[in-house]
Structure 1
């Protein structure tokens, strides 16, 4: 028996979520340059399988309880030890495991932001972070990036102006200082130092998203912002890029008082404890640095293949910054180009990408596009970039005809 169900009014703080990128490519040989995924053939499948079996066999009944067995404690100690490679020294009560770094963004936002509070971001910025800030009903202000990262001079000017004119200061600034998504740029050491000085002077937090820092193609090292001012930096990282994203494990570093407040939001107890048991078994005796080195070698080669393919297919029609690490190349077209206008044609030609406007707070960025080189093969990169270029040239030819 059918019946009519009345409409329901959901919470207004939940914003409408647009589709990000073209993910509806249906051709059999489609190429997803929009997917910011790790290369699946590099997942340590055999080691994870063995680790899962050992977690069940050795600790099964305790591992499947709310707090798990020995794994969560081992994970904390491994994260603590590994962070020292990057110059970070933390106590165990300054670490919290999360469901990936994106949950870390959400949790930090929830403890810091009331509706109407101000959050400052880079322009462009990670679209899932922007969604978290919108859901928190924050007022979002963005600042442009260049080849040395976010324009800290403009942030300083805005802070001074707000202070002098009685305007609200930000509760925090969200930044991806190393191998930025989508821009591919890295914040210079000089700007890092000035940014944390500003956080101290004006008393705001910095939310540092460091998801790609292990994927260092050049060997150049940059100090995490957390090492420069741990009292006012909340640091985020993840296993998603270095082991496998389906594990959904990341972590936060912060002052112990901040961690204590975030823990109050974990109503279900510890995060993914059985997954932590598996990962702990994996990391025990795993040649992790060799694994990371193999990731770097592969992704560097992928980057170079994509950079050459873009140059060959687009010529002088685009510019981009060659990233020192990470997953992405950020293309800039002429200012009059709107990459959203040829998303559908590119999909029909069998390739997806993310149009620039998806990464901005305001209606801008239309002349940009993000391509991901990590997920697909070299042959697919070349073919996908060419199909993307075909869609672009059809678009501009139509515009001038």
Structure 2
């Protein structure tokens, strides 16, 4: 038997905390309000089966080869045409199809930054993006959001001070403009325009992560930030939220020079040409507007069920911005509450959520939690909130008893 010697992992790995409750899935009675999953019944299983059969019958060997059949070209054209709804005009050479939008974030980061460069983000923001930026060894700075999205005025103030004091400027600004993850807010059109102007003035790029744009309950669509600054914005979106996350198909739209560099770094070549072939066939079968309307009908009902249950079981003890689209509701507790302290208790009670601290750079956000309203049916959501409230009040009472005893 060989004696194993010690070995070391790459120094690229920073200390990143695993998001605990989000990975809990084996408890039989667990109601998952943690990760952002679509409604299971919304997944087009029958049509996907037919699309897969068509891929083999019509493209067969080509679809299984490295360069694929007709799928990749057709997907590019679909993205180009669909993007016009966001007031985005792009050529095929300005689009790259990726393995989900998360791969696009990684490719952009590695294309435009070196270790030590500045990336600025919202607070709170998507923890997956934070993980990517940390692995790239960049320096991160965050700016708060309000009911109108990112506080662009604070970004501008920081840029002015950086220039005045001869300090580094950002290479990238990462933003989720529609139904922000986790805040659920939308960036106002005035702030979109101003942020694009600042990107030109101070020569940084904006990563516009627009995964939730189609999921608008009131069908109000604001032009993409990209439409105000195409030379300084890289626009991302995905099929994950409108068809199925298992496809792992997303895309990025940006300057041809940037897309070319991203393609060089994308060592896996073309993104699953077979999956693109199947997706192309599916898109030919379905009415996308009808698909979106169906999703929004389901998600609006489930969001309303969650809002109603929170008001019933928490009353005035919590607050939240009621989102008009997307996947998530961002719950705010009193300042002295740390939601990470009762994650495990909630799991034992049969409900999971993501504690607020995971969405921030600094030691903040402890009195928040993110809840997903899209996966579970209404009555299950109501039961989950009931369990969550019971867990919370037991936690509060326990804290009070300990404080009184001391």
Q: TM class by shorter-chain length? A: over 0.9
- Counterpart of 2:19? 20
The answer to whether the 8 A contact 2:47-2:285 is kept is: no
Aligned counterparts, 1:292-331, within 5 A = 292-331=292-331
- Counterpart of 1:229? 229
The answer to whether the 8 A contact 1:25-1:350 is kept is: no
The answer to whether the 8 A contact 1:100-1:240 is kept is: yes
Please provide the CA RMSD for this pair: 1.0
Moved more, 280-289 or 203-212: 280-289
Partner Cα distance (2:217, 2:3) in 1: 59
Partner Cα distance (1:325, 1:308) in 2: 16
- Counterpart of 1:115? 115
Partner Cα distance (2:24, 2:210) in 1: 30
Deviations 1:215-259 (A, max 9, x none): 011122211101110000011100000000000000000011110
- Counterpart of 1:33? 33
Runs of 4+ in 1 over 3 A off after TM superposition: none
Aligned counterparts, 1:168-207, within 5 A = 168-207=168-207
- Counterpart of 1:98? 98
SS of the residue corresponding to residue 206 of structure 2 reads strand
- Counterpart of 1:241? 241
Partner Cα distance (1:268, 1:31) in 2: 36
Deviations 1:118-154 (A, max 9, x none): 0000000100000000000000000000101011110
Quote how far apart the aligned CAs of 1:11 are: 1.1
Quote how far apart the aligned CAs of 1:101 are: 0.5
- Counterpart of 2:273? 273
Quote how far apart the aligned CAs of 1:386 are: 1.0
Quote how far apart the aligned CAs of 1:398 are: 0.8
Quote how far apart the aligned CAs of 1:317 are: 0.9
- Counterpart of 1:8? 7
- Counterpart of 1:152? 152
Quote how far apart the aligned CAs of 1:19 are: 2.0
Quote how far apart the aligned CAs of 1:27 are: 4.0
SS of the residue corresponding to residue 264 of structure 1 reads helix
Quote how far apart the aligned CAs of 1:18 are: 2.0
Q: TM-score, normalised by structure 1?
A: 0.98
Structure 2 residues without counterparts, runs of 5 or longer: 402-406
Partner Cα distance (1:361, 1:320) in 2: 21
Partner Cα distance (1:19, 1:388) in 2: 22
The answer to whether the 8 A contact 1:152-1:194 is kept is: yes
Structure 1 residues without counterparts, runs of 5 or longer: none
SS of the residue corresponding to residue 310 of structure 1 reads helix
Quote how far apart the aligned CAs of 1:17 are: 3.5
Partner Cα distance (2:43, 2:82) in 1: 19
- Report the count of equivalent residues: 400
